[in-house]
Structures are given as C-alpha cells and as structure tokens.
Amino acid sequence: MLSRLIPLEVSELITDLERAGHRAYLVGGCVRDYLMGLKPQDYDITSSATPKQVMSIFAHLKVLPTGIRHGTVTVINRGVSVEITALRKEGTYKDHRHPDKVIYTNSAAEDAARRDFTVNAMYYSPSEGMLDFYGGQADLAAGILRAVGDPELRFEEDALRILRALRFAARLGFTVEKNTVAAMRAKVHLLQHIAAERVLSELGQILMGDYAEAVLAEHSYVTECLFGAKAPDDLGKYPKEYRLPLFIAHCGRNAEGAETLCRSLKTDRRLARSVSAAAFALYGYGFDCWLEVAVYAGKHGIKDARMTCILLERRGGRLPANWESGLALMECGKLPLTLRELAVDGADLKALGAVNGKQMGTLLEKLFAYVHTGGINEKTSLCAEALRIISSEGC
Ligand code: ATP
Ligand code: MG
C-alpha cells in the first residue's frame, strides 16, 4: 500500500537502481512517517550501489556529491532531491561521534544494525515490501523508541543519539524504552564530546516538539549534564519559537550567563539577541510605562519585544496594561518604531533652531516620547512640540 504514496520522482529512482542490478529501498524517517500516516519531510534511499555507480546510473540527472565520504550523493529528479546512500556497515567509533571507517555492503540487515532506533531502521521498496529487522513496526504501533542493538554500546559509539532520542520522543510523543533510558543515563556524560553546533541543532528540534516539556522533564538528566539546569517547567505554555531563547536564557541563570551560554553554543547573532530579550524578562527587569516598551521595541524589534512582554506577563513581571495594543500599533505603522519613522527630519529641526547633532538626537527622542504618549505623528504637530521643547527646555 505504501507504493501508491511514494512520489513518482522518488520511486523512479528506486526502479532505475534495480534495473541496473542493485537493491534500493526507502529508509529511515520517510518510512516511519508513512507508517504513521504523516507526509515525509524528505526521502532517503539506501542502495547497494556505491556513490560512483549512483553517479553513473543517474548521469542524465543532476547529482550532487553531498556526503561522498559517508557514501551519500543527492540526486535531483524533476525538482525533487533525494539522498541516495550506499548500504553500509560501520567499523569502530572514534571520539564518541564518528565511525573510523565505512564499509559498503549488499545487506540491508547489516545496514540496519548501525541505525539508531528501531522505528528508524525500516526499509521499504515496492518490489521487496517492508524489511523490518528490529521490530520497528511493533514499536511504532506501541509508541516506543528503542535503540537498535545494545543501547549502551550504541550511545557510547555516538552520544548524539541521546539527543536524537529526545528529539523523536518530543516530536512523536513516544516513550523511550526502559533499557534505552538506562543506557542514556549511563552514557549522558559523553555528550561533552559532541560539537556545540550539533547540540544546538538538536536542542532546537527537541524544543519544537509537541511533547517537549514532558520529555525534557522526564529526561532532565540530559540538560542537567549539558547545562547544569533543568528545562523551565512552563515551556509548553509559550509559542514554539520562544522556547529556544527562553531555554538558553533560563539555563544561563542570569543575563551575563545567558550571553556566555550563547557564545559556547555558537548561536547566530539573531538568536543571541532573542536570548538577551528573554533574559531581560527572566532576571528582574521590566517596564514601568508604555514608553519604555516602545523604546525597547525600537531597539530589539517588535518580535523580540512581544516575546519579552509575554514572558513578563506570564511570570508576573512589571508591564503596562496597554503593551499588546501598543505593539500592534507599532507593527502596523500607526506608531513609529524608530526615530526615522517620525514625520520630521534633521532639516526640519535645524530650521527650528536645533544647532548640533546631539541636540537633534535629544529632540528626536523627546518627539518619539511625545508621539508615544498621545501626540500626533504629523509634521505640524511635531514642529509645534519641537518649538515648545526648544523654548522651554533649551534643546
Ligand atoms: P527527520 O524526520 O527529523 O529527518 P530522520 O529519521 O529522517 O528524521 P535523519 O537525521 O534525517 O532522521 O537521519 C536519517 C536516518 O539515518 C535515520 O532515520 C536513522 O536511520 C539514520 N541516522 C541518522 N543519524 C544517525 C545516528 N547518529 N546514528 C545512527 N543512525 C542515524
Ligand atoms: Mg530525515
């Protein structure tokens, strides 16, 4: 029944590989997703052809050598790109992450032994049907995530699998099987060998899961080992895009710690800014009036300002009642977000008597405050207010 669901662009590749005398299967996430009635995010094919053979079989198509060292090439068939990886077994592992060497094989059973979880180790082809060497279908039906083979050994080989377990549990709502959990606990210290970028990427995916809060609470030993902290216990209450900045800010324990954690996780600047906005809300800061929110939104952007306000609101921080409507007005342009959105410019102020840049800057800030406390953002009204400020306050 699966064969009817597979897009033609993908099944054609399997047929071509078989015609050339090879075995070829869909494998991993796409088989798992099909069996769960979900649309796969992408398609992975594994085949007995080596990357070189795949390149020559598909010489008429665009083929990218995306991971040739691991036996992977990407074939693009009428706009659909499919990773084709050679069936392989792995030698011993170095550094708790990478296998020493990759050995090609013709056997799906051997290939299955190197995969992480039973639900990720199923193979399907229209000609051979489902190959399920480790009871993946039964585990899928029961909602169980179970390591393939000896769990301790598997996490010792590659500690990243501990985070992958949380990723799948958080996304699918699966329970991690007892022996697999025991091995995760026993090997959790090996996560120190995993590159920061990988930790951050998995963490982001875990937090996007519908079951993230429960999974992180149940497996708190993972974040305790990595960051010395449990996940916040109200994660599930927030929109998914706030969870990563909130999590990092929380684990940092204070604003400075959050910044340091961003550096060690090698976050990009965008995420670091969101983390600092979350830390603002978490560590005792707040807003005493709308104008403070407006200035903050001008500096951090509407999106982060909204997150800060939501965190403050849900955690009982200082916040004016009209923050939400105010941000909505800024967002649709009815209130200025920055000084540049004021209806006067430097030349207007110069004509009114502002003499230098500093004076002009102060004046613009005062006009920004004026507009955000009921004044009208139009040239005549702003010029009148500017004149009043200059004559009464001298700038
Ligand atoms: P997603 O839907 O998130 O892409 P996926 O199961 O396809 O999930 P990928 O990271 O794309 O996950 O990996 C594809 C497949 O490769 C997995 O299903 C699994 O069989 C295997 N795999 C990936 N990473 C590992 C690993 N670190 N150890 C063992 N097997 C792995
Ligand atoms: Mg995938």
In ligand 1, the atom with minimum distance to the C-alpha of 115 is 30
Q: Is there a single domain that holds both residue 35 and residue 75?
A: yes
Residue 310 lies in a domain: yes
Q: Is 375 in the pocket of ligand 1 (CB under 6 A)?
A: no
CA 29 / ligand 1 centre spacing (Å): 7
Q: Is 46 in the pocket of ligand 1 (CB under 6 A)?
A: no
What's at 334, amino acid-wise? K
**Residue 117: nearest ligand to its CA?**
1
Residue 227 lies in a domain: no
Task: Tell me the C-alpha distance between 377 and 124, whole Å.
Answer: 64
Range of the domain at 57: 1-142
In ligand 1, the atom with minimum distance to the C-alpha of 158 is 27
CA 225 / ligand 2 centre spacing (Å): 27
Whether residue 258 contacts residue 221, with contact meaning beta carbons closer than 8 Å, is answered with no
Q: Is there a single domain that holds both residue 162 and residue 134?
A: no
- CA torsion, ordered 140, 144, 149, 150, to nearest 10 deg: 180
| Per-residue model confidence as pLDDT tens digits over 206-231 | 999 999 999 999 999 999 999 999 99
- Position 12 pLDDT exceeds 70: yes
Q: What is the pLDDT of residue 150?
A: 98
Q: Is there a single domain that holds both residue 237 and residue 249?
A: yes
Q: What is the mean pLDDT of residues 251-266?
A: 98
Beta strands in 52-146 (DSSP E): 62-67, 72-77, 80-86, 88-90, 93-94, 98-99, 102-104, 122-125, 129-132, 144-145
pTM attached to this predicted model: 0.92
Q: Whose CA is nearest to atom 5 of ligand 1?
A: 29
Q: What is the pLDDT of residue 1?
A: 67
CATH of the domain at 45: 3.30.460.10
Task: Tell me the C-alpha distance between 15 and 23, whole Å.
Answer: 9
Listed residues 142, 159, 187: the one ending a domain: 142
Q: Is there a single domain that holds both residue 58 and residue 70?
A: yes
Q: Is 96 in the pocket of ligand 1 (CB under 6 A)?
A: no
Ligand 1 pocket test: pick from 46, 114, 120 the residue with the most ligand atoms within 8 Å of its Cβ: 120
> Longest C-alpha distance within the chain, in Å?
90
Q: Is there a single domain that holds both residue 293 and residue 360?
A: no
Residue 277 lies in a domain: yes
Listed residues 193, 221, 249: the one ending a domain: 221
Q: What is the pLDDT of residue 395?
A: 57
Q: What is the pLDDT of residue 283?
A: 95
Confidence of residue 356 (pLDDT cuts 50, 70, 90): confident
Q: Is there a single domain that holds both residue 3 and residue 112?
A: yes
Q: Is there a single domain that holds both residue 32 and residue 51?
A: yes
Residue 70 lies in a domain: yes
Q: Is there a single domain that holds both residue 321 and residue 348?
A: no
Q: Is there a single domain that holds both residue 55 and residue 186?
A: no
- Position 380 pLDDT exceeds 70: yes
Listed residues 142, 157, 189: the one ending a domain: 142
Q: Whose CA is nearest to atom 25 of ligand 1?
A: 116
Residues with CB under 5 A from ligand 2 (ion): 29
As a residue count, the chain comes to 395
Q: Is there a single domain that holds both residue 112 and residue 7?
A: yes
Q: Is 116 in the pocket of ligand 1 (CB under 6 A)?
A: yes
Confidence of residue 80 (pLDDT cuts 50, 70, 90): very high
- Please tell me which residue, 45 or 359, carries the higher pLDDT value: 45
Q: What is the pLDDT of residue 152?
A: 98
Confidence of residue 251 (pLDDT cuts 50, 70, 90): very high
**Residue 145: nearest ligand to its CA?**
1
Confidence of residue 394 (pLDDT cuts 50, 70, 90): low
In ligand 1, the atom with minimum distance to the C-alpha of 40 is 2
Residue 306: C-alpha distances to residues 301, 310, 338, 342 (Å): 9, 6, 16, 22
Residue 94 lies in a domain: yes
Q: Is there a single domain that holds both residue 133 and residue 17?
A: yes
Tokens of 91: 């030698």
Q: Is 39 in the pocket of ligand 1 (CB under 6 A)?
A: no
Total number of domains constituting the chain: 4
Task: Tell me the C-alpha distance between 89 and 104, whole Å.
Answer: 6
| Per-residue model confidence as pLDDT tens digits over 84-109 | 999 999 877 778 878 877 899 999 99
37-51, 132-146, 175-189, 381-395: segment of lowest average pLDDT: 381-395
* % of residues, the chain, pLDDT over 70: 99
CATH of the domain at 158: 1.10.110.30
Residue 226 lies in a domain: no
Task: Tell me the C-alpha distance between 214 and 219, whole Å.
Answer: 9
Q: Is there a single domain that holds both residue 314 and residue 195?
A: no
